[in-house]
Amino acid sequence: MLLHVARRFHYDVDELAAGEVAGHLGAAADGTAAGAHFRSGTALALRPGSYPAGAGDNLYPQQVAMVRDILAECDGVVRWGGDDASRPMEGAFFIAVPPGDARLERLAARIEGWADVPDRGAGVAVDPAAPDRLRAAAALRRVQAAGR
């Protein structure tokens, strides 16, 4: 799941280069919504030097729209550190459901299935402004905001 998020981020939000993906940040993520997830191996930091903890509003509106589209595509299984009101971390993404949650398996199977379909998955042009995608992204944002 997090690999899919990193791929979509690379293609649709901000190109990633070697060394710009971190799976463990130690104290750098403490105090963030994703902090404990980094310690448990269920979080990913993309371009952590560009999107440090506590610094918000680093993404353009179209980039935020694409991040919301990525999250909606992940059906609430993944959360974005940029939504942390107290200490945002815009490059952080983490698994937002407990181990064994059925949504994990469903999302993993769906992502795996995209490998066999030419017009699915990361690298495929998407329109985050399409009405159905906007509705899904907005609905997920409301659900995740209520669960804070």
Residue pLDDT, tens place only, 133-146: 888 888 888 888 77
Question: Per-residue pLDDT for 55 more than 90?
Answer: no
User: CB-based contacts of 140: which residues, under 8 Å, 6+ apart?
Assistant: 68, 71, 72, 75, 76
Residue pLDDT, tens place only, 23-48: 876 665 666 667 777 777 888 989 98
Placement of tokens 């907005």 in the chain = 138
In 3-state terms, what secondary structure has residue 134? helix
Residue pLDDT, tens place only, 84-99: 888 888 999 999 999 9
Do 14 and 47 touch, CB atoms closer than 8 A? yes
Q: Vertex 74, ends 68 and 80: CA angle to 5°?
A: 50
Structure token pair of residue 128: 């985050």
Which burial class, exposed, middle or buried, applies to 28 when counting CB atoms under 10 A from its CB (0-12, 13-18, 19+)?
middle
Identify the bridge partners of residue 93 per DSSP, sorted by sequence position: 44, 80
Structure token pair of residue 19: 């060394």
Residue pLDDT, tens place only, 78-132: 999 999 888 888 999 999 999 999 999 999 999 988 877 777 777 677 777 888 8
The structural domains of the chain, with segments of one domain joined by +, span 2-146
